[in-house]
Structure 1
């Protein structure tokens, strides 16, 4: 049995939902997956020695990742590098199939460029538009971004672009990575 740690940053809850789906895929295969929010990892610490692999995931906020994600990878870059490891980026631009390719996803490429940790494996996962759940200024900013990228701008739109079978396959792939 493999034990896998998934560290994640989620702002509105969708990346946490995706992380639970990754955990479920791993658990269903008879392995153990622990998930921990980046903030918890930074405040409580992480015992990496008990894991066979680690994945780190985060949503994109206004074209970048939360500062705490960079703090985490800065603090734990050596521990992350010692284990088989992966990074997944959740972003709405990946609603377009060509943007799910890591080489074509500018947000993922920006993370790799700015991060002191260089993940062995990377994954892009399409996110969710949820205008009603967002604060008015987030909704307005994202509507402007969507208008520029031919995305949905209707303020009542709730569209989940996530391919959950692909997410489950990613989880099963983490088991193989741990082997």
Structure 2
């Protein structure tokens, strides 16, 4: 049976948008229907929640947390997110280490669950991307500092995509299976 999936996301530099697009495209390739919206678009234009069998909400992490608008969205739409199968995916660079892709070992994902009024029953951690040349100078300096502490890349010319794109496809298939 054809399922309908909504992928909502917050992206700052574009990588979480790219991951969301890959999820949506793979869902469509599997024969299901999928719409994708930035959370700001969803808030501005509204969402017909009844159209969807399952919802995924994803966000990137910057400076150890999610943008305030992600928490605001989860607060405002907690009822809708809880009413049907839903998943939260966290995109962060600490997940470059395989053990940090395990939800219980990812402090950023755990922080979302702790601080959000919506308590997703299904969660996913996806490794993000280091893109120093694309970042503003102060973001680059702060992230270099964090990377130095965590033994990550600090070369200001580094562009490293840690995302496991095959695993993103597996997650897309998982979302279809979540639908009732």
Task: Report deviation, 1:111.
Answer: 0.1
Q: Which moved more, 1:40-49 or 1:86-95?
A: 40-49
- 1:108 aligns to what? 109
Q: How far does the alpha carbon of each residue in 1:107-139 deviate from its partner, in whole angstroms, 9 at most, with x for none?
A: 000000000001120000000000000010000
2:155 maps to 1:162: no
- 2:58 aligns to what? 57
SS at match of 1:34: strand
Deviating 4+ runs (over 2 angstroms): none
- 2:33 aligns to what? 32
Task: Report deviation, 1:45.
Answer: 1.5
Task: Report deviation, 1:99.
Answer: 0.3
- 1:3 aligns to what? 4
Partner Cα separation in structure 2 for residue 61 and residue 40 of structure 1:
21
Task: Report deviation, 1:7.
Answer: 0.5
Count of residue pairs the alignment pairs up: 179
- 1:91 aligns to what? 92
Task: Report deviation, 1:61.
Answer: 1.0
- 2:175 aligns to what? 174
Task: Report deviation, 1:98.
Answer: 0.4
- 1:78 aligns to what? 79
Task: Report deviation, 1:47.
Answer: 1.1
- 1:126 aligns to what? 127
- 2:15 aligns to what? 14
Partner Cα separation in structure 1 for residue 56 and residue 107 of structure 2:
20
Partner Cα separation in structure 2 for residue 145 and residue 39 of structure 1:
28
SS at match of 2:88: strand
Question: TM-score if structure 1 supplies the norm length?
Answer: 0.99
Task: Report deviation, 1:2.
Answer: 0.6
Q: What is the root-mean-square deviation of aligned Cα atoms in Å?
A: 0.6
Task: Report deviation, 1:42.
Answer: 1.5
Partner Cα separation in structure 2 for residue 51 and residue 91 of structure 1:
27
Question: TM-score if structure 2 supplies the norm length?
Answer: 0.98
- 1:42 aligns to what? 43
Gaps of 5+ in 2: none
